[in-house]
């Protein structure tokens, strides 16, 4: 049961450090406590835990324009962040996790500003039928977070400039472009600022939970623990992931998200493997890739391998059907 609220409004705009702080707050959240962390990234593309960086983002163009690529802990798809976007993270113990109540903070914050908002499915929050907030989720060792974006006044041109969602994803959404599905809140409230949105979020946070939030200060954090996490989020291996000299690849969009399996096959054995996905469940891709390494390159062997991975159980039938469609 939530008995204590804490709020931290970050001052830095480095995405790798912000993600480190997010993980630190989640790993150290006290019992019966809910933390809201509000933060901004400058000129950044953030990809989901299991996404292929090169497939989701025009990485060379982003780097040439002075932008930063970051990979978050949670699943889901790629998003563009600039100083017109406010990010939020709710960190808490898993036994206190209540997605709808957490999302109602965003809805209430918008109501305070005179903006109608509604929750759509599990991942999105809409106004006037258009998305202004996409959400993703993560849990580990008894702690969890729910994070997302709040599009206040984002440069929409950059969504299409740097993000490269697959054709199948766009077709599944029934839209023709990245930009057609999203809206800035300033289109409904032109005088809205990031500070105003942040203040409304804290007010709504306290209203929804009927508690007063204690303000956190970064100087009270364990700097060495934040730095250790920063070094990981900043590393090339984390941001880009391990590349596979691919000799076999298959991909398909399912109801739960898109999945790509890449294999480097040597002497009829999978020498290397990578699994990419924008599924909200971030925990299945790495165990599946690990299991596929060393597997015999045959339909039956690959499917048996997929079925054997505990974390992959919910997706195994779909992935096996995909493999059986291939000419192996």
Tens digits of per-residue pLDDT, 112-127?
999 999 999 888 999 9
pLDDT per position as a tens digit, 49-82: 999 998 899 999 999 999 999 999 999 999 999 9
Q: Are residues 176 and 256 in the same domain?
A: no
CA-nearest of 182, 108, 193 to 149 is 182
Q: Which of 209, 240, 271 lies at the terminal end of a domain, its last residue? A: 240
Q: Are residues 236 and 272 in the same domain?
A: no
Task: Tell me the CATH number at 131.
Answer: 3.30.930.10
Pairing mode, if any, of strands 85-93 and 143-151? antiparallel
Q: Are residues 75 and 159 in the same domain?
A: yes
The beta-carbon contacts of 285-290 under 8 Å, at least 24 apart in sequence, are 285/49, 285/50, 286/50, 287/311, 287/312, 288/312, 288/319
Give the pLDDT confidence score for residue 160 in this predicted structure. 83
Q: Are residues 153 and 226 in the same domain?
A: yes
pLDDT at 188 > cutoff 70: yes
Q: Are residues 94 and 138 in the same domain?
A: yes
Give the pLDDT confidence score for residue 282 in this predicted structure. 85
Q: Are residues 255 and 236 in the same domain?
A: no
Q: Are residues 203 and 295 in the same domain?
A: no
Alpha-carbon gap, residue 58 to 60, rounded angstroms: 6
What is the count of structural domains for the chain?
Answer: 2
The 10 Å Cβ neighbour count of residue 109 is 24
Q: Which residues contact 143 (CB under 8 A, 6 or more apart)?
A: 26, 27, 29, 91, 92, 93, 94
Q: Are residues 143 and 52 in the same domain?
A: yes
Give the pLDDT confidence score for residue 171 in this predicted structure. 46
Task: Tell me the CATH number at 261.
Answer: 3.30.390.50
Alpha-carbon gap, residue 22 to 226, rounded angstroms: 9
| Mean pLDDT along residues 5-25 | 98
pLDDT at 168 > cutoff 80: no
Q: Which of 213, 240, 267 lies at the terminal end of a domain, its last residue? A: 240
Q: Are residues 224 and 259 in the same domain?
A: no
Alpha-carbon gap, residue 156 to 76, rounded angstroms: 20
Confidence of residue 242 (pLDDT cuts 50, 70, 90): confident
CA-nearest of 283, 284, 285 to 273 is 285
Alpha-carbon gap, residue 146 to 164, rounded angstroms: 24
**Cβ–Cβ under 8 Å, residues 20 and 26:** no
**Virtual CA dihedral for 72, 78, 83, 88, nearest 10 degrees?**
-50
Q: Which of 240, 273, 308 lies at the terminal end of a domain, its last residue? A: 240
The parent domain of residue 305 ranges over 248-324
Higher pLDDT, 54 or 99: 99
pLDDT at 137 > cutoff 90: yes
pLDDT per position as a tens digit, 287-313: 999 999 999 999 999 999 999 999 999
Q: Which residues contact 289 (CB under 8 A, 6 or more apart)?
A: 273, 274, 275
């Amino acid at each position: 049961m939530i008995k204590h609220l804490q709020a931290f409004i970050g001052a830095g705009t480095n995405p790798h450090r912000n993600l480190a702080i997010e993980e630190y707050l989640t790993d150290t959240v006290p019992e019966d406590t809910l933390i809201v962390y509000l933060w901004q990234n400058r000129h950044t593309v953030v990809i989901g835990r299991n996404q292929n960086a090169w497939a989701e983002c025009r990485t060379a163009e982003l780097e040439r324009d002075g932008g930063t690529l970051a990979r978050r802990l949670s699943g889901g798809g790629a998003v563009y962040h600039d100083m017109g976007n406010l990010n939020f993270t709710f960190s808490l113990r898993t036994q206190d996790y209540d997605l709808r109540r957490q999302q109602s903070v965003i809805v209430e914050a918008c109501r305070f500003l005179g903006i109608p908002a509604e929750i759509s499915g599990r991942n999105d929050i809409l106004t006037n039928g258009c998305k202004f907030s996409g959400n993703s989720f993560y849990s580990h060792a008894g702690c969890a977070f729910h994070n997302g974006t709040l599009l206040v006044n984002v440069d929409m041109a950059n969504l299409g400039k740097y993000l490269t969602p697959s054709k199948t994803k766009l077709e599944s959404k029934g839209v023709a472009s990245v930009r057609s599905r999203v809206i800035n809140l300033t289109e409904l409230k032109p005088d809205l600022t990031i500070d105003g949105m942040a203040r409304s979020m804290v007010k709504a946070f306290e209203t929804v939970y009927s508690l007063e939030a204690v303000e956190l200060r970064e100087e009270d954090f364990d700097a060495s623990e934040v730095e250790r996490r920063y070094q990981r989020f900043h590393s090339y291996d984390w941001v880009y992931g391990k590349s596979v000299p691919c000799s076999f690849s298959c991909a398909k969009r399912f109801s739960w998200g898109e999945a790509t399996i890449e294999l480097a096959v040597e002497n009829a054995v999978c020498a290397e493997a990578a699994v990419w996905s924008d599924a909200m469940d971030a925990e299945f891709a790495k165990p599946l890739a690990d299991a596929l390494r060393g597997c015999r390159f045959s339909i039956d062997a690959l499917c048996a391998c997929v079925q054997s991975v505990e974390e992959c159980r919910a997706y195994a039938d779909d992935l096996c059907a995909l493999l059986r469609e291939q000419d192996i």
